[in-house]
Each structure stands twice: as structure tokens, then as C-alpha cells.
Structure 1
Amino acid sequence: MSFVIGGAGCRGVEIVAELADRIPQLCRKYDVDPSLVHVYNVEAAPTALPGFDSEMVDYAMDVLQKKGVEFKTGLAITECKPDGVYLTTGERIKAATVVWTGGVRGNRLIEAAGFETVRGRVKVDEYLHAPGHENVFVIGDSSLIFDAEGHPYPPTAQMAIQQRIICAQNIVASIRGKELKNFIFSNKGTVVSLGKGEGIALAPGKRYKGWRAVQLKKLIAIRYLFTIGGIMLALRKGRFL
């Protein structure tokens, strides 16, 4: 009775955290021995949560291990079958439920449309144009943008949210024959939930752990809802925090 989460980035860690919190409740509800249930988080990189420093990673892994999560880092999933997954060592983890969070591709429609892609994502220019198509803009998970050091930015929600603003402005500018704006990503930080009452967060020049990180994540959620639905939607969310 095992769950395997492939990938120990932000999304993979948040999924195992939610599972670890819910399993004791579900075991009581359905009269299942908790010792029979296992949660595995498999990561090909040497450590979980790439992008976080070792202190924050150790804190996050310690919190989740105490909740029963077993990490398998430095190991890639080579095959997934109905009876479980196989690792580079040849080890098999028996599991009927496997969740993959270890990598992002763009929508296959992008490739089918004939655009030049890298793993399904389009390397856009500074205006978010698809190469060779000044009337086509690509944003979100289907776009590929590199930082000053030549590393691709991860396809996060904050990236897509910032892109949508510039994309909308550039569409209007194109229609009106005005100058387009360059897209420059501004990293506001990263917050990762580790389940009830726990989390880690990186903000420019600051780090947060535990309860403070959880409150920061709640504030981010409320702020996002405010941007799309105004004060009433934000207040509605706030009632359930």
C-alpha cells in the first residue's frame, strides 16, 4: 500500500507533505494499519528541493521524514509499470499510485503546430514572441526563458503571472503599432508547504521556516486571489484560512 512521488522539487515535496498529513486520518477512517502504508519521494538529483540551501533542505526533509516520508535521492525512475516503478539501481518499489512531478513539458499542441521547441517548450525572444513569428506570443509552461548565466528559469506560477502582464501589453502595442516591452523576470522568492503548520520560504535576502513560512504562503494565496477577483474573493478565501 505505497505511494511513489517522482521528483522532489517544490511540487513533489508539497504532494508528499499533504499525503503524509492525510494518511493517519484515512487509516483511522478505513481501519487500515498505518505501518502498511508507505510514501516514497524519488529524486534523480543528489538532494531534494534544488535551489534551496542545505540548511533549508535538511530542515524540510527532517520534517517530512518524521511524518513517515522516505526519500530516495540520487536515483532516477527508469520505468513505470502497473505494479510499481523501477529505479536505476534495479530496485522495484511496488505501488499502485505513482505521481510524476519530475519535469515539465509544454503542451504537445505547440510541437504539432510546427514551432521550434525544446522538450515541448518554445525559446521565446525578449518580447515573448515565438521565433520567426511576430504575431505569436508564448507564455507559461510552454515558454522557455534563460537567465543571465544561461540557465532556464523554472516554469513557475510567478513566471506565468508576470508574463501575462507583458504579453497583454505587447498584444495591444502590436495592434496599435507601438513599441513593445521587454520581459524581465523578477524573482519574488519561493514558498514550499511541508504540511500543516510547516513550511520553508526564500524571499530576496530573507529565509523563513515553520509557522512564519506558512503565514507567508497564505498571504501569497490571498494576494493572488485579490488580483483576479478583487476584495470579495480574497475575503472569501480568508474565512477558511
Structure 2
Amino acid sequence: MISVTRPRILVVGAGFAGVGCVRRLERRLSPDEAEITLVTPSSFQLYLPLLPQVASGVLTPQSIALSLRRSRRYRTRIIPGGAIGVDLAAKVCVVRTITDRIVNEPYDYIVLAPGSVTRTFDIPGLVDHGFGMKTLAEAAYLRDHVISQLDLADACQDPAERAARLQFVVVGGGYAGTETAACLQILTHNAVKRYPRLDPRLIKWHLIDIAPKLMPELGDKLGRDAQEILRRRGIEISLGVSIAKAGPEEVTFTDGRVVPTHTLIWTAGVVASPLIGTLGAETVRGRLAVNAEMRLPGHDGVFALGDAAAVPDVAKDEEGAVCPPTAQHAMRQGKVAADNVIASMRGQSLQPYEHKDLGLVVDLGGFDGVAKPLGVELKGLPAVVVARGYHWSALRTNVAKARVMTNWLLNAVAGDDFVRTGFQARRPAKLKDFEFTNAYLTPEQLKKQVTAQGGGGTADGPA
């Protein structure tokens, strides 16, 4: 008898791109056509655009963590861990599981969608004292931290310490930073009413960015509208400014100002996952250089997409234009990548990815927002309706849609209870503690690991 081995398709990453790809593969491939494996530390897809609303308590963490095991077509094998190296020649992906075991996972086709990590610079004290806003754990932890600052300030006898605990600094004037500052400012504005011993005027939010404009993709008018909304709420906006150094109780700006604070939130952009650096392939500003079909040139069966790949934007006439690292592109790229993997298996022609950007939406909390859907400029309540409607419709499961809508309605009617959930009971956790950017292998370590295990198998402990 002749045994026919099913092709092994390995998908790395459970973000918008990776999950979109897996779901498409499950729908379009019969179980005997291929073996599908997904590498991800958590068995859920995080709906990242709503993370600021988790940090502010409008949404519960579970509402934007979409289970990967709810699909009726679910048959994908999930490896609970993170990919830390890929040997393209040996066709092996090295995975560190959540129990710290090193696993060599061979593949026939690989789809790289590991996403991005927070971009940091060599700023003294940043990774030791700054908070990120890239993961569900960071958002939940940050909410606890902000409320704890109010609790500590309320109990404090030292006026200087009280003032420092009630100052908050957000670095990054993009969508993540602007929405984070806006949503958390509403949280502290509403919460301070429950602290009769605190002077609300002591609460100060700073939003700074080295760029000359907030969210320049929105255009001059909407950018100015967003700034006006934030300034009306009392958020101090400083443009053309970053931080020079960070300490446990103060932050120094590049313009020389020293702000006493216990809260530094860093949202100054993202970079492709360090996994891309282990491939030894060409990159474009850190993102893997692929063609319009999202295939890595010179390597059959290797595809990359999402934040980690420089996918050509064929919808634009600009030479060298690549798709921005946004959710709307990642979701659509996942489906096209899956179709191209299937086409490769069947010897068919591949299709280029093409999508015209639908516009941008920014929810600033409450009844404030700015949006530019299909080029139409909106602000205020109409923008909020469009923003939330877009996010709600983009949620992958009906359960998630029900949870998010219920949270929105409950928050609108009953407000927030400002409860800390206990994350502060452990040691302080900052930027360096959540994204594990030091876990990836060097080229030498990768080659040693693949050679030692012969392409498949496991090893205990660090490589």
C-alpha cells in the first residue's frame, strides 16, 4: 500500500491576518487535503482597535478576545506558544511553547502573520518604567494601575506625591495613543467624582508626539478637530516633542520639561515581529519583502502578510507603496493568502492582493469622535456611530458582537464601578514584561536547534 501524506500548512500568528487565513483554509479545504496548524500563545483573536476601551473599563477583556475554538468547522491544531525562528532551507519553524519547551515544527507551506511589537528607542528608563498598549494583559493591567493612582493619591499626605500620581503621560499621537489618552481621561474624569478629597484640577493628562500633527492620515481639518476635542477636555497636547528619559517618578521631555508622574504610556508606533529577522530574507523597514501575491520570492510555499510583511499596495499609483499595518488590510490579506496557498497546492495561478482603503475611524470616548469613511469627514456623534458600527460589524463572532453591544449599553446607562481587579497585587509590570522581544533566536542558535532536533521534535529549556 502507498501512504499519501497530507501537505502540512503552518500559520504563525492569530491576529486579523492569521485567523482570517486559517478560517478560509478550513472552509475551502477538505480534512483529507491538508493538515492545518496554528502557532499562537493564546487561543483567541484579539480585536486590537477596541483595546483602549478595555483599558478605560467600557468593555470587559473577554468581550474582545474572540475564541478560536467556537467555529463549527474548527479542526486546526493549535500549538500554544510563539514562533522564535524559521529555517527556510530546512522548512522548520522553531516554537517556544507556553511551558518554555522548544519545539521544531516542520511544514510544507508556511503563512507568516506574527504581527508587530511596540516600537521602542534607546531612551533611558523607557522599557523599565513605561507601559505599553499592545496586548490584552497590558490594557487590563493599565486600567488597574490608573485606578490605583487615584486610590494612592486619595490616601497620600504628601502634596507633591499626590500631584505626581495624578499626572499621566501618553507618548504617541497616532490612533492608539490618541484613543488611549482620550478614553483614559474620561475614566479619571468620571472616577474622581468618587474621591471627594481629591481636587479634580490636579488630574492632568499629557499627549505628546515628535510629529507636527496628530493622526496626519485624517487630514488637516479632522486632525484639528481631534486636537480641539482633547484640549477642551483638558488634555495638554505637545507636538514636536518626545521623551529624553524616564524614571519611576518623573519623565523628562526633549524640550527640557520635567513632569512628575508615575504613569508613562508608550504608544509611539509598532515594528514587525522580531521573528522576521530570523529568516535572513530581504526586508522593507523591518517588514518582510513579499510580492503582490504575498509570496516570499525565491522560496516556494512561504507567504507573509499583515503587520510583519511589506505587501505592495497595488491600489495606489505610487511606486514602492506598501499596505499600511491596519486591521482592514490584515483581515482581507488573510483570505487572499489562504486562496493563494490552496492555489499553490493545486498548481493553479496565484492572485494579487488589492484593496482600496475604506477610510479611518477614531473613537474618542463618550460622544466624541472623528472619522473619514470613504473620504467623508465626520465628527462628534455621527463619527462615534460610524466608528462603533464599523468595529461591531468587524467582530468575527456573534457572541463577541453581543458582548460588546451589551457592554456599550451597560456603560452608557450605569457608568463604571472603577474596580481594580487585582493585577497590582503582583510586582510592577512594564513594557519589557509583556512582549518577550528577547525570546527570539539568533541565526546561529536557529541553525543549532534545527540541526540538533533533525527537523522535528522537542527540547526542554532555552535554545
What's the TM-score, normalizing by structure 1? 0.89
Q: Which residue pairs with 1:21 in the alignment?
A: 186
CA distance in 2, matches of 1:144, 1:79: 32
Tell me what 2:386 maps to.
216
Q: Which has the larger radius of gyration?
A: 2
Q: Equivalences for 1:135-154 in 2 at 5 Å?
A: 135-147=301-313, 148-149=317-318, 150-154=320-324
SS in structure 2 at match of 1:55: helix
1:42–1:202: structure 2 CA closer, same or farther, 3 Å change rule? same
Counterparts of 2:227 and 2:324, CA distance in 1: 21
Partner of 1:161: 331
Structure 2: distance between partners of 1:115 and 1:37: 48
Structure 1 residue 233 displacement after superposition: 4.5
> How many pairs are equivalent?
238
Amino acid at match of 2:340: N
In 2, Cα distance between the equivalents of 1:114 and 1:4? Answer: 38
Report the alpha carbon displacement of residue 109 of structure 1 after superposing the two structures with TM.
1.8
Structure 2 residue 401 is the aligned partner of structure 1 residue 234: yes
Deviations 1:82-123 (A, max 9, x none): 334333323333322222221211111221333333453212
Moved more, 77-86 or 157-166: 77-86
After TM superposition, give the deviation of residue 17 of structure 1 in Å: 0.8
Match 1:63 to one of 229, 234, 243? 229
Q: 1:174 to 1:191 in 2, by over 3 A?
A: same
The answer as to whether partners of 1:116 and 1:131 remain within 8 angstroms in 2 is no
- State whether residues 199 and 211 of structure 1, in contact with CA within 8 Å, keep that contact through their aligned partners in structure 2: yes
Quickly say closer, same or farther: Cα 1:206–1:29, change in 2 above 3 A. Answer: same
Distance 1:171 1:183 in 2: 13
Structure 1 32/206 Cα, relative in aligned 2: closer, same or farther at 3 Å?
A: same
Of stretches 85-94 and 210-219 in structure 1, the one that deviates more from structure 2 is 85-94
Q: Which amino acid aligns with 1:183?
A: Y
| Structure 2 CA distance for aligned equivalents of residues 189 and 197 of structure 1 | 20
| Residue in structure 1 matching 2:357, options 169, 187, 211 | 187
2:271 matched to which residue of 1? Answer: 105
- Of the candidates 255, 258, 263, which is equivalent to residue 92 of structure 1? 258
One of 364, 377, 381 as aligned partner of 1:207: 377
Residues of 1 paired with 2:277 and 2:325: CA distance? 18
Residue 155 of structure 1, CA deviation: 0.9
Cα distance in 2 for partners of 1:40, 1:121 equals 31
Q: Given that residues 85 and 95 in structure 1 are in contact (C-alpha distance below 8 angstroms), is that contact kept between their aligned partners in structure 2?
A: yes
1:163 Cα shift? 0.9
Match of 1:173 in 2: 343
Aligned-residue offset at 1:182: 0.1
Give 5+ residue unaligned stretches, structure 1. Answer: none
Paired with 1:50 and 1:205, the residues of 2 have a C-alpha distance of 14
Partner of 2:76: none
Residues 77 and 130 from structure 1, CA distance in 2 versus in 1: closer, same or farther, beyond 3 angstroms?
Answer: farther
Displacement of 1:71: 0.4
CA contact (8 A) 2:292 2:312 kept: no
Question: Please, which moves more after superposition, 169-178 or 146-155?
Answer: 146-155
- Match in the other structure for 1:74: 240
Give the Cα separation in 2 of the matches to 1:178 and 1:120.
31
Q: TM-score, normalised by structure 2?
A: 0.48
Q: Distance in 2 between matches of 1:72 and 1:128?
A: 39
Gap change, CA 1:64 and 1:199, over 3 Å in 2: same
Q: CA deviation at 1:65?
A: 0.9
Amino acid at match of 1:13: T
Q: Which amino acid aligns with 2:202?
A: L
Q: Offset at 1:190?
A: 0.4
Give distance in 2, aligned partners of 1:24 and 1:175. 56
**RMSD of aligned Cα (Å):** 2.1
Deviations 1:145-199 (A, max 9, x none): 3543244443111111111111111111111111111011320110001111111
- Which SS does the other structure have where 2:281 is aligned? coil
Select 2:200's aligned residue among 30, 34, 49.
Answer: 34
Counterpart in the other structure of 1:120: 286
Deviation at 1:56, TM superposition (A): 1.0
Percent of aligned positions that are identical:
33
Higher relative contact order (CA 8 A, sep 6+): 2
Which amino acid letter does the alignment assign opposite residue 267 of structure 2? T
